[in-house]
Chains A and B, each alone.
Chain A
Amino acid sequence: MSLLLPDSGLLFWMFLSFGIVVFILVKYGFPVILKMVEDRKAYIDNSLSIAKQAHEELASVKSEGETIVDNARREQVKIMNDAAQMRDTLIKEAKDKASVEAVKLVEDARKQILIEKEDAIRDIRRQVALLSVDIAEKVLRGQLEKKDEQLDMINRLLDEINISKS
Protein backbone atom coordinates (compact mmCIF):
# COMPACT_ATOMS: atom_id res chain seq x y z
CA MET A 1 0.00 0.00 0.00
CA SER A 2 2.92 2.34 0.59
CA LEU A 3 3.22 2.64 -3.17
CA LEU A 4 -0.16 4.35 -3.31
CA LEU A 5 0.50 6.92 -0.60
CA PRO A 6 2.38 10.01 -1.70
CA ASP A 7 5.37 10.66 0.52
CA SER A 8 5.43 14.16 2.01
CA GLY A 9 9.17 14.65 1.48
CA LEU A 10 8.91 13.61 -2.13
CA LEU A 11 5.91 15.88 -2.63
CA PHE A 12 7.95 18.77 -1.26
CA TRP A 13 10.90 18.09 -3.55
CA MET A 14 8.69 17.48 -6.55
CA PHE A 15 6.82 20.75 -5.99
CA LEU A 16 10.10 22.55 -5.65
CA SER A 17 11.95 21.08 -8.60
CA PHE A 18 9.02 20.86 -10.98
CA GLY A 19 7.99 24.39 -10.03
CA ILE A 20 11.49 25.63 -10.86
CA VAL A 21 11.54 23.66 -14.11
CA VAL A 22 8.16 25.05 -15.13
CA PHE A 23 9.16 28.57 -14.14
CA ILE A 24 12.44 28.54 -16.07
CA LEU A 25 11.18 26.76 -19.15
CA VAL A 26 7.92 28.72 -19.37
CA LYS A 27 9.84 31.96 -19.02
CA TYR A 28 13.07 31.36 -20.93
CA GLY A 29 12.77 28.05 -22.74
CA PHE A 30 9.76 27.24 -24.86
CA PRO A 31 8.44 30.72 -25.65
CA VAL A 32 11.80 31.55 -27.24
CA ILE A 33 11.71 28.41 -29.37
CA LEU A 34 8.05 28.77 -30.32
CA LYS A 35 8.44 32.45 -31.12
CA MET A 36 11.51 31.85 -33.24
CA VAL A 37 9.84 29.06 -35.19
CA GLU A 38 6.80 31.29 -35.68
CA ASP A 39 8.99 34.17 -36.78
CA ARG A 40 10.87 31.96 -39.15
CA LYS A 41 7.63 30.68 -40.59
CA ALA A 42 6.44 34.24 -41.12
CA TYR A 43 9.79 35.11 -42.64
CA ILE A 44 9.65 32.15 -45.03
CA ASP A 45 6.07 32.94 -46.02
CA ASN A 46 7.04 36.53 -46.58
CA SER A 47 10.10 35.53 -48.61
CA LEU A 48 8.00 33.18 -50.69
CA SER A 49 5.44 35.84 -51.49
CA ILE A 50 8.24 38.26 -52.34
CA ALA A 51 9.85 35.67 -54.57
CA LYS A 52 6.52 35.02 -56.27
CA GLN A 53 6.05 38.71 -56.82
CA ALA A 54 9.56 39.02 -58.19
CA HIS A 55 8.85 36.10 -60.48
CA GLU A 56 5.73 37.74 -61.78
CA GLU A 57 7.55 41.00 -62.23
CA LEU A 58 10.30 39.24 -64.08
CA ALA A 59 7.77 37.59 -66.36
CA SER A 60 6.09 40.91 -67.07
CA VAL A 61 9.48 42.53 -67.68
CA LYS A 62 10.35 39.70 -70.00
CA SER A 63 7.14 40.04 -72.01
CA GLU A 64 7.63 43.79 -72.03
CA GLY A 65 11.13 43.30 -73.33
CA GLU A 66 9.84 40.96 -75.98
CA THR A 67 7.27 43.47 -77.16
CA ILE A 68 9.99 46.13 -77.22
CA VAL A 69 12.23 43.87 -79.27
CA ASP A 70 9.32 43.04 -81.60
CA ASN A 71 8.52 46.68 -82.07
CA ALA A 72 12.15 47.46 -82.70
CA ARG A 73 12.38 44.72 -85.27
CA ARG A 74 9.25 45.96 -87.02
CA GLU A 75 10.60 49.48 -86.90
CA GLN A 76 13.89 48.26 -88.33
CA VAL A 77 12.15 46.53 -91.21
CA LYS A 78 10.12 49.62 -91.86
CA ILE A 79 13.13 51.88 -91.76
CA MET A 80 15.02 49.62 -94.10
CA ASN A 81 12.13 49.53 -96.52
CA ASP A 82 11.86 53.28 -96.39
CA ALA A 83 15.56 53.60 -96.96
CA ALA A 84 15.46 51.29 -99.94
CA GLN A 85 12.53 53.18 -101.37
CA MET A 86 14.21 56.50 -100.83
CA ARG A 87 17.39 55.22 -102.39
CA ASP A 88 15.45 54.06 -105.43
CA THR A 89 13.62 57.36 -105.81
CA LEU A 90 16.85 59.30 -105.30
CA ILE A 91 18.63 57.27 -107.92
CA LYS A 92 15.71 57.60 -110.25
CA GLU A 93 15.49 61.31 -109.70
CA ALA A 94 19.20 61.68 -110.21
CA LYS A 95 19.03 59.68 -113.37
CA ASP A 96 16.14 61.74 -114.67
CA LYS A 97 17.85 64.92 -113.77
CA ALA A 98 21.07 63.77 -115.37
CA SER A 99 19.37 62.77 -118.59
CA VAL A 100 17.50 66.06 -118.77
CA GLU A 101 20.72 67.88 -118.13
CA ALA A 102 22.47 65.89 -120.80
CA VAL A 103 19.77 66.63 -123.34
CA LYS A 104 19.94 70.25 -122.44
CA LEU A 105 23.72 70.26 -122.73
CA VAL A 106 23.57 68.64 -126.11
CA GLU A 107 20.96 71.14 -127.23
CA ASP A 108 23.04 74.01 -126.00
CA ALA A 109 26.07 72.63 -127.69
CA ARG A 110 24.14 72.27 -130.92
CA LYS A 111 22.86 75.83 -130.69
CA GLN A 112 26.33 77.07 -129.98
CA ILE A 113 27.63 75.12 -132.89
CA LEU A 114 24.92 76.59 -135.13
CA ILE A 115 25.69 80.09 -134.00
CA GLU A 116 29.38 79.52 -134.51
CA LYS A 117 28.70 78.10 -137.95
CA GLU A 118 26.56 81.07 -138.97
CA ASP A 119 29.16 83.43 -137.61
CA ALA A 120 31.83 81.62 -139.56
CA ILE A 121 29.71 81.66 -142.74
CA ARG A 122 28.98 85.37 -142.28
CA ASP A 123 32.65 86.04 -141.81
CA ILE A 124 33.53 84.05 -144.90
CA ARG A 125 30.93 85.86 -146.87
CA ARG A 126 32.27 89.22 -145.81
CA GLN A 127 35.74 88.15 -146.68
CA VAL A 128 34.57 86.83 -150.02
CA ALA A 129 32.69 90.11 -150.76
CA LEU A 130 35.72 92.17 -149.85
CA LEU A 131 37.92 89.96 -151.95
CA SER A 132 35.56 90.10 -154.93
CA VAL A 133 35.31 93.89 -154.63
CA ASP A 134 39.08 94.11 -154.57
CA ILE A 135 39.33 91.80 -157.57
CA ALA A 136 36.65 93.67 -159.38
CA GLU A 137 38.48 96.96 -158.69
CA LYS A 138 41.66 95.49 -159.98
CA VAL A 139 39.89 94.08 -163.03
CA LEU A 140 38.15 97.35 -163.69
CA ARG A 141 41.33 99.31 -163.22
CA GLY A 142 42.99 97.04 -165.81
CA GLN A 143 40.13 97.47 -168.33
CA LEU A 144 39.74 101.17 -167.84
CA GLU A 145 43.25 102.20 -168.67
CA LYS A 146 42.17 103.49 -172.07
CA LYS A 147 39.91 106.59 -172.44
CA ASP A 148 37.33 105.20 -174.83
CA GLU A 149 36.96 102.19 -172.88
CA GLN A 150 36.21 104.35 -169.90
CA LEU A 151 33.62 106.15 -171.82
CA ASP A 152 32.10 102.99 -173.05
CA MET A 153 31.89 101.84 -169.64
CA ILE A 154 30.22 104.88 -168.36
CA ASN A 155 27.72 104.74 -171.10
CA ARG A 156 26.90 101.21 -170.47
CA LEU A 157 26.45 101.81 -166.84
CA LEU A 158 24.26 104.74 -167.49
CA ASP A 159 22.17 102.61 -169.81
CA GLU A 160 21.87 100.05 -167.29
CA ILE A 161 20.72 102.50 -164.68
CA ASN A 162 18.22 103.88 -167.10
CA ILE A 163 16.92 100.52 -168.03
CA SER A 164 16.62 99.60 -164.37
CA LYS A 165 14.88 102.96 -163.70
CA SER A 166 12.39 102.41 -166.44
Chain B
Amino acid sequence: MNSLRKILSLIAIFVLLSGTVVFASEPVQVEKPKEKLDVKELILEHLADSYSWHITKIGDTDIAIPLPVIVYSKTSGMHVFLSSAFKEGASHEGLIIASEGKYKGKIVEKDTHGNENRPFDISMTKVVCALLFNSALLIFIILTVARSYKKDTFESKKGFVGFMEMFIMNINDEVIKPCVGKDYKKFSPYLLTVFFFIFLTNLMGLLPVFPGGANITGNIAITFVLAIFTFVIVNVVGTKEYWKEIFWPDVPVWLKVPIPLMPAIELVGVFTKPFALMIRLFANMLAGHSIVLGLTCLVFVTVSLGPAMNTSMTVVSVVFNVFINLVEVLVAFIQAYVFVLLSSVFIGLARVEPHHAKEAIK
Protein backbone atom coordinates (compact mmCIF):
# COMPACT_ATOMS: atom_id res chain seq x y z
CA MET B 1 0.00 0.00 0.00
CA ASN B 2 2.90 2.27 0.80
CA SER B 3 3.98 2.07 -2.81
CA LEU B 4 0.58 3.18 -3.99
CA ARG B 5 1.17 6.28 -1.97
CA LYS B 6 4.49 6.59 -3.68
CA ILE B 7 2.87 6.47 -7.08
CA LEU B 8 0.38 9.08 -5.92
CA SER B 9 3.23 11.28 -4.82
CA LEU B 10 4.91 10.90 -8.20
CA ILE B 11 1.74 12.00 -9.90
CA ALA B 12 1.53 14.87 -7.46
CA ILE B 13 5.00 16.06 -8.49
CA PHE B 14 3.99 16.02 -12.11
CA VAL B 15 0.82 17.95 -11.54
CA LEU B 16 2.48 20.45 -9.24
CA LEU B 17 5.47 21.08 -11.49
CA SER B 18 3.37 21.44 -14.62
CA GLY B 19 0.67 23.70 -13.29
CA THR B 20 1.04 25.30 -9.89
CA VAL B 21 -0.78 28.32 -11.22
CA VAL B 22 -3.75 26.26 -12.26
CA PHE B 23 -3.76 24.57 -8.91
CA ALA B 24 -4.03 27.77 -7.02
CA SER B 25 -7.26 28.68 -8.76
CA GLU B 26 -8.77 25.20 -8.49
CA PRO B 27 -11.74 25.11 -6.16
CA VAL B 28 -11.01 21.46 -5.32
CA GLN B 29 -7.82 22.51 -3.55
CA VAL B 30 -9.76 24.57 -1.12
CA GLU B 31 -11.71 21.55 0.06
CA LYS B 32 -8.71 19.32 0.78
CA PRO B 33 -7.17 20.96 3.82
CA LYS B 34 -10.51 20.61 5.59
CA GLU B 35 -9.89 16.88 6.05
CA LYS B 36 -7.58 16.64 8.98
CA LEU B 37 -4.96 14.02 8.14
CA ASP B 38 -4.19 11.74 11.07
CA VAL B 39 -0.80 10.38 10.04
CA LYS B 40 -0.49 7.99 12.97
CA GLU B 41 -3.88 6.44 12.27
CA LEU B 42 -3.11 6.18 8.58
CA ILE B 43 0.19 4.41 9.12
CA LEU B 44 -1.17 2.04 11.75
CA GLU B 45 -4.10 1.24 9.50
CA HIS B 46 -1.78 0.35 6.66
CA LEU B 47 0.44 -1.76 8.87
CA ALA B 48 -2.44 -3.68 10.39
CA ASP B 49 -4.37 -6.53 8.89
CA SER B 50 -7.77 -5.93 7.30
CA TYR B 51 -10.78 -7.96 6.25
CA SER B 52 -10.79 -6.74 2.67
CA TRP B 53 -7.92 -6.09 0.30
CA HIS B 54 -8.01 -2.43 -0.57
CA ILE B 55 -6.28 -1.85 -3.91
CA THR B 56 -6.87 1.79 -4.75
CA LYS B 57 -9.42 4.54 -4.81
CA ILE B 58 -10.68 5.92 -8.09
CA GLY B 59 -12.69 9.07 -7.56
CA ASP B 60 -14.88 8.36 -4.57
CA THR B 61 -15.19 4.61 -5.06
CA ASP B 62 -12.88 2.27 -3.21
CA ILE B 63 -11.60 -0.62 -5.22
CA ALA B 64 -11.17 -3.49 -2.83
CA ILE B 65 -11.32 -7.25 -3.03
CA PRO B 66 -13.79 -8.68 -0.51
CA LEU B 67 -12.27 -11.59 1.40
CA PRO B 68 -14.06 -14.45 3.13
CA VAL B 69 -14.87 -14.01 6.79
CA ILE B 70 -14.86 -17.23 8.79
CA VAL B 71 -15.93 -16.76 12.37
CA TYR B 72 -17.02 -19.19 15.06
CA SER B 73 -18.94 -17.75 17.96
CA LYS B 74 -19.93 -19.68 21.08
CA THR B 75 -23.33 -18.05 21.11
CA SER B 76 -24.32 -17.83 17.45
CA GLY B 77 -22.24 -20.63 15.89
CA MET B 78 -20.43 -20.61 12.61
CA HIS B 79 -20.47 -17.62 10.24
CA VAL B 80 -19.04 -17.69 6.71
CA PHE B 81 -19.59 -14.72 4.40
CA LEU B 82 -17.73 -12.18 2.31
CA SER B 83 -16.33 -9.09 3.97
CA SER B 84 -18.24 -6.89 1.52
CA ALA B 85 -21.23 -7.41 3.83
CA PHE B 86 -19.56 -5.01 6.30
CA LYS B 87 -19.76 -2.09 3.91
CA GLU B 88 -20.12 1.33 5.48
CA GLY B 89 -19.60 -0.01 8.98
CA ALA B 90 -22.81 -2.04 8.93
CA SER B 91 -23.19 -5.16 11.06
CA HIS B 92 -23.88 -8.54 9.56
CA GLU B 93 -25.33 -11.58 11.32
CA GLY B 94 -24.74 -9.82 14.62
CA LEU B 95 -21.07 -9.29 13.87
CA ILE B 96 -19.37 -5.96 13.34
CA ILE B 97 -15.87 -4.62 12.82
CA ALA B 98 -15.09 -2.68 15.97
CA SER B 99 -14.26 0.94 15.24
CA GLU B 100 -12.66 1.58 18.61
CA GLY B 101 -11.76 -0.01 21.90
CA LYS B 102 -9.71 -3.07 22.68
CA TYR B 103 -10.61 -4.93 19.50
CA LYS B 104 -10.35 -2.04 17.11
CA GLY B 105 -10.43 -3.19 13.50
CA LYS B 106 -11.37 -6.74 14.43
CA ILE B 107 -14.68 -8.51 14.13
CA VAL B 108 -16.60 -8.51 17.39
CA GLU B 109 -19.96 -9.73 18.55
CA LYS B 110 -22.11 -7.70 20.90
CA ASP B 111 -23.87 -9.60 23.65
CA THR B 112 -27.08 -8.59 25.41
CA HIS B 113 -25.27 -6.34 27.88
CA GLY B 114 -23.63 -4.39 25.05
CA ASN B 115 -20.21 -5.89 25.76
CA GLU B 116 -17.98 -6.65 22.82
CA ASN B 117 -16.86 -10.27 22.63
CA ARG B 118 -14.22 -11.53 20.27
CA PRO B 119 -15.38 -14.72 18.54
CA PHE B 120 -12.93 -17.31 17.26
CA ASP B 121 -11.86 -15.67 14.03
CA ILE B 122 -10.06 -17.52 11.26
CA SER B 123 -11.12 -15.15 8.48
CA MET B 124 -9.02 -15.07 5.37
CA THR B 125 -7.76 -11.56 5.89
CA LYS B 126 -5.48 -9.58 3.63
CA VAL B 127 -2.36 -10.95 5.32
CA VAL B 128 -3.69 -14.49 5.13
CA CYS B 129 -4.41 -14.16 1.41
CA ALA B 130 -1.03 -12.63 0.70
CA LEU B 131 0.53 -15.35 2.84
CA LEU B 132 -1.21 -18.10 0.89
CA PHE B 133 -0.29 -16.45 -2.39
CA ASN B 134 3.37 -16.17 -1.37
CA SER B 135 3.44 -19.74 -0.13
CA ALA B 136 2.04 -20.98 -3.42
CA LEU B 137 4.50 -18.81 -5.33
CA LEU B 138 7.43 -20.11 -3.29
CA ILE B 139 6.39 -23.73 -3.75
CA PHE B 140 5.96 -23.10 -7.46
CA ILE B 141 9.39 -21.45 -7.83
CA ILE B 142 11.33 -24.03 -5.86
CA LEU B 143 9.56 -27.01 -7.41
CA THR B 144 10.16 -25.54 -10.88
CA VAL B 145 13.85 -25.30 -10.09
CA ALA B 146 13.85 -28.80 -8.61
CA ARG B 147 12.04 -30.22 -11.63
CA SER B 148 14.57 -28.80 -14.06
CA TYR B 149 17.20 -30.94 -12.33
CA LYS B 150 15.29 -34.12 -13.04
CA LYS B 151 15.38 -33.45 -16.77
CA ASP B 152 19.11 -33.23 -17.34
CA THR B 153 21.11 -33.96 -14.26
CA PHE B 154 24.67 -32.98 -15.00
CA GLU B 155 24.16 -29.99 -17.21
CA SER B 156 25.04 -26.65 -15.67
CA LYS B 157 21.99 -24.45 -15.38
CA LYS B 158 21.45 -21.10 -17.01
CA GLY B 159 19.05 -18.24 -16.46
CA PHE B 160 16.68 -18.24 -13.52
CA VAL B 161 17.44 -21.80 -12.45
CA GLY B 162 21.14 -21.04 -12.50
CA PHE B 163 20.58 -17.93 -10.44
CA MET B 164 18.48 -19.84 -7.91
CA GLU B 165 21.08 -22.57 -7.75
CA MET B 166 23.79 -20.04 -7.01
CA PHE B 167 21.57 -18.37 -4.42
CA ILE B 168 20.60 -21.63 -2.70
CA MET B 169 24.13 -23.01 -2.68
CA ASN B 170 25.49 -19.74 -1.37
CA ILE B 171 23.13 -19.78 1.62
CA ASN B 172 23.74 -23.48 2.08
CA ASP B 173 27.53 -23.30 1.97
CA GLU B 174 28.19 -19.92 3.54
CA VAL B 175 25.53 -19.77 6.25
CA ILE B 176 24.10 -23.16 7.09
CA LYS B 177 27.20 -25.32 6.69
CA PRO B 178 29.55 -23.37 8.98
CA CYS B 179 26.88 -22.50 11.55
CA VAL B 180 25.14 -25.84 12.02
CA GLY B 181 28.30 -27.87 11.77
CA LYS B 182 28.75 -31.56 11.21
CA ASP B 183 25.37 -32.90 10.10
CA TYR B 184 24.09 -29.72 8.49
CA LYS B 185 22.60 -31.64 5.59
CA LYS B 186 19.74 -32.81 7.78
CA PHE B 187 18.69 -29.22 8.53
CA SER B 188 19.53 -27.35 5.37
CA PRO B 189 16.21 -28.07 3.55
CA TYR B 190 14.26 -26.56 6.46
CA LEU B 191 16.60 -23.59 6.88
CA LEU B 192 16.57 -22.89 3.15
CA THR B 193 12.79 -23.02 3.18
CA VAL B 194 12.73 -20.48 6.01
CA PHE B 195 15.20 -18.25 4.19
CA PHE B 196 13.34 -18.19 0.93
CA PHE B 197 9.99 -17.88 2.65
CA ILE B 198 11.10 -14.79 4.55
CA PHE B 199 12.98 -13.32 1.61
CA LEU B 200 10.12 -13.77 -0.84
CA THR B 201 7.57 -12.49 1.65
CA ASN B 202 9.70 -9.43 2.42
CA LEU B 203 10.13 -8.64 -1.27
CA MET B 204 6.43 -9.13 -1.98
CA GLY B 205 5.71 -6.72 0.86
CA LEU B 206 7.69 -4.09 -0.97
CA LEU B 207 5.95 -4.71 -4.27
CA PRO B 208 3.48 -1.91 -4.97
CA VAL B 209 0.92 -3.80 -7.09
CA PHE B 210 -1.88 -6.10 -6.00
CA PRO B 211 -0.49 -9.49 -4.91
CA GLY B 212 2.22 -7.74 -2.94
CA GLY B 213 2.12 -4.84 -0.59
CA ALA B 214 0.85 -6.70 2.43
CA ASN B 215 2.81 -6.28 5.64
CA ILE B 216 3.30 -10.00 6.31
CA THR B 217 6.69 -10.39 7.98
CA GLY B 218 5.97 -7.19 9.88
CA ASN B 219 3.13 -9.03 11.60
CA ILE B 220 4.03 -10.61 14.90
CA ALA B 221 1.85 -13.68 14.39
CA ILE B 222 3.88 -14.62 11.34
CA THR B 223 7.28 -14.18 12.98
CA PHE B 224 5.92 -15.95 16.07
CA VAL B 225 5.16 -19.06 14.06
CA LEU B 226 8.53 -18.91 12.33
CA ALA B 227 10.26 -18.62 15.69
CA ILE B 228 8.17 -21.49 17.11
CA PHE B 229 9.28 -23.77 14.28
CA THR B 230 12.92 -23.00 14.96
CA PHE B 231 12.38 -23.29 18.72
CA VAL B 232 10.85 -26.75 18.37
CA ILE B 233 13.58 -27.96 16.02
CA VAL B 234 16.37 -26.60 18.22
CA ASN B 235 15.01 -28.29 21.34
CA VAL B 236 14.00 -31.54 19.68
CA VAL B 237 17.40 -32.13 18.10
CA GLY B 238 19.27 -30.93 21.21
CA THR B 239 21.88 -33.43 22.38
CA LYS B 240 22.32 -34.75 25.91
CA GLU B 241 25.22 -32.33 26.33
CA TYR B 242 22.93 -29.43 25.39
CA TRP B 243 20.44 -30.29 28.12
CA LYS B 244 23.24 -31.00 30.58
CA GLU B 245 24.67 -27.54 29.94
CA ILE B 246 21.27 -26.03 30.70
CA PHE B 247 20.44 -27.89 33.90
CA TRP B 248 23.90 -28.77 35.19
CA PRO B 249 26.41 -26.39 33.61
CA ASP B 250 30.17 -26.44 34.26
CA VAL B 251 30.15 -23.81 36.99
CA PRO B 252 30.97 -23.84 40.73
CA VAL B 253 28.44 -25.92 42.62
CA TRP B 254 27.16 -23.00 44.73
CA LEU B 255 25.80 -21.44 41.55
CA LYS B 256 23.63 -24.52 41.05
CA VAL B 257 22.68 -25.67 44.54
CA PRO B 258 20.66 -24.77 46.58
CA ILE B 259 19.46 -21.87 44.39
CA PRO B 260 19.60 -22.97 40.74
CA LEU B 261 20.95 -19.66 39.55
CA MET B 262 22.76 -20.74 36.40
CA PRO B 263 20.12 -23.29 35.32
CA ALA B 264 17.50 -20.56 35.62
CA ILE B 265 19.54 -18.22 33.45
CA GLU B 266 20.20 -20.95 30.93
CA LEU B 267 16.53 -21.89 30.86
CA VAL B 268 15.53 -18.30 30.19
CA GLY B 269 18.14 -18.31 27.39
CA VAL B 270 16.32 -21.20 25.73
CA PHE B 271 13.26 -18.98 25.33
CA THR B 272 14.97 -15.68 24.63
CA LYS B 273 16.68 -17.09 21.55
CA PRO B 274 13.49 -17.68 19.51
CA PHE B 275 11.98 -14.58 21.08
CA ALA B 276 14.86 -12.52 19.68
CA LEU B 277 14.27 -14.10 16.27
CA MET B 278 10.61 -13.18 16.39
CA ILE B 279 11.07 -9.59 17.54
CA ARG B 280 14.00 -8.86 15.25
CA LEU B 281 12.23 -9.81 12.04
CA PHE B 282 8.92 -8.27 13.10
CA ALA B 283 10.39 -4.97 14.24
CA ASN B 284 12.67 -4.55 11.23
CA MET B 285 9.97 -5.13 8.67
CA LEU B 286 7.42 -3.08 10.56
CA ALA B 287 9.89 -0.22 10.83
CA GLY B 288 10.67 -0.37 7.12
CA HIS B 289 7.02 -0.19 6.17
CA SER B 290 6.44 2.62 8.68
CA ILE B 291 9.25 4.74 7.31
CA VAL B 292 8.02 4.41 3.74
CA LEU B 293 4.49 5.27 4.84
CA GLY B 294 5.68 8.20 6.93
CA LEU B 295 7.72 9.65 4.11
CA THR B 296 4.81 9.28 1.75
CA CYS B 297 2.51 11.07 4.21
CA LEU B 298 4.86 14.04 4.01
CA VAL B 299 3.26 14.86 0.66
CA PHE B 300 -0.22 15.06 2.13
CA VAL B 301 0.75 16.68 5.42
CA THR B 302 2.41 19.61 3.68
CA VAL B 303 -0.56 20.38 1.43
CA SER B 304 -1.78 22.92 3.99
CA LEU B 305 1.58 24.77 3.89
CA GLY B 306 0.99 26.07 0.40
CA PRO B 307 2.00 24.94 -3.09
CA ALA B 308 5.70 25.90 -2.88
CA MET B 309 6.32 24.03 0.35
CA ASN B 310 4.20 21.14 -0.84
CA THR B 311 6.15 20.84 -4.10
CA SER B 312 9.54 20.89 -2.45
CA MET B 313 8.48 18.43 0.24
CA THR B 314 7.05 16.14 -2.43
CA VAL B 315 10.40 16.05 -4.15
CA VAL B 316 12.07 15.31 -0.82
CA SER B 317 9.51 12.63 -0.08
CA VAL B 318 9.99 10.87 -3.41
CA VAL B 319 13.76 11.01 -3.23
CA PHE B 320 13.77 9.62 0.30
CA ASN B 321 11.17 7.00 -0.59
CA VAL B 322 13.29 5.73 -3.46
CA PHE B 323 16.28 5.59 -1.13
CA ILE B 324 14.36 3.86 1.66
CA ASN B 325 12.82 1.37 -0.74
CA LEU B 326 16.28 0.42 -1.98
CA VAL B 327 17.41 0.06 1.61
CA GLU B 328 14.34 -2.07 2.25
CA VAL B 329 15.33 -4.45 -0.56
CA LEU B 330 18.64 -4.84 1.21
CA VAL B 331 16.87 -5.26 4.54
CA ALA B 332 14.58 -7.88 3.02
CA PHE B 333 17.66 -9.95 2.25
CA ILE B 334 19.50 -9.15 5.47
CA GLN B 335 16.56 -10.08 7.70
CA ALA B 336 16.04 -13.40 5.94
CA TYR B 337 19.79 -13.96 6.14
CA VAL B 338 19.98 -13.07 9.82
CA PHE B 339 17.00 -15.22 10.70
CA VAL B 340 18.53 -18.24 9.01
CA LEU B 341 21.98 -17.45 10.36
CA LEU B 342 20.70 -17.30 13.93
CA SER B 343 18.52 -20.37 13.48
CA SER B 344 21.58 -22.21 12.17
CA VAL B 345 23.68 -21.04 15.08
CA PHE B 346 21.00 -22.12 17.57
CA ILE B 347 20.72 -25.53 15.97
CA GLY B 348 24.50 -25.77 15.94
CA LEU B 349 24.64 -24.86 19.64
CA ALA B 350 21.98 -27.43 20.47
CA ARG B 351 24.05 -30.15 18.85
CA VAL B 352 27.13 -29.68 21.03
CA GLU B 353 29.39 -32.60 21.74
CA PRO B 354 30.93 -33.13 25.19
CA HIS B 355 34.08 -31.06 25.63
CA HIS B 356 36.75 -33.71 25.68
CA ALA B 357 39.56 -31.21 25.92
CA LYS B 358 38.18 -29.70 29.15
CA GLU B 359 37.71 -33.09 30.74
CA ALA B 360 41.25 -34.04 29.89
CA ILE B 361 42.56 -30.97 31.77
CA LYS B 362 40.55 -31.91 34.85
Contact = CB atoms under 8 A, between A and B. Distances in A.
Given A14-B131, A25-B192, A31-B189, 12 more contacts: A2-B105, A7-B221, A8-B120, A8-B122, A13-B132, A14-B222, A18-B225, A21-B139, A22-B193, A29-B193, A34-B172, A36-B149
A24 B193 CA distance: 10
B105 A25 contact: no
A163 interface: no
A147 B286 CA distance: 195
Interface string B119-148: 011111101100110010011001101100
Interface in A47-72: none
The secondary structure that dominates the B interface is helix
B139 A30 contact: no
Interface string A96-126: 0000000000000000000000000000000
26 contacts: A2-B48, A3-B48, A3-B220, A3-B286, A5-B220, A6-B220, A9-B123, A9-B128, A10-B49, A13-B128, A14-B225, A18-B225, A18-B229, A22-B229, A25-B138, A25-B189, A26-B189, A28-B146, A29-B145, A29-B146, A29-B189, A32-B150, A33-B146, A33-B168, A34-B172, A40-B154
A161 interface: no
Contacts, number: 125
B107 to A, nearest CB: 9
B160 to A, nearest CB: 13
Contacts of B245: none
A9 to B, nearest CB: 4
A103 B161 CA distance: 102
Interface of A: 2-15, 17-18, 20-22, 24-26, 28-34, 36-37, 39-40, 43
B169 A37 contact: yes
B14 to A, nearest CB: 34
Bin the interface of chain B by size: 35 or more
Interface of B: 44, 47-49, 70, 104-106, 120-125, 127-128, 131-132, 135, 138-139, 142-143, 145-146, 149-150, 153-154, 156, 164-165, 168-169, 172, 185, 188-190, 192-194, 196-197, 219-222, 224-226, 229, 286
B188 A30 contact: yes
A6 B192 CA distance: 25
A33 B47 CA distance: 36
Q: Secondary structure of the A side of the interface?
A: helix
Nearest to A7: B221
Contacts of B224: 6, 11, 14
B149 A33 contact: yes
Contact of A37 (B104, B127, B165): B165
B19 to A, nearest CB: 40
Contacts of B221: 6-7, 10-11, 14
A22 B143 CA distance: 12
Nearest to A43: B154
Nearest to A5: B220
Nearest to A23: B193
Given A3-B286, A22-B193, A37-B169, A13 B122 contact: yes
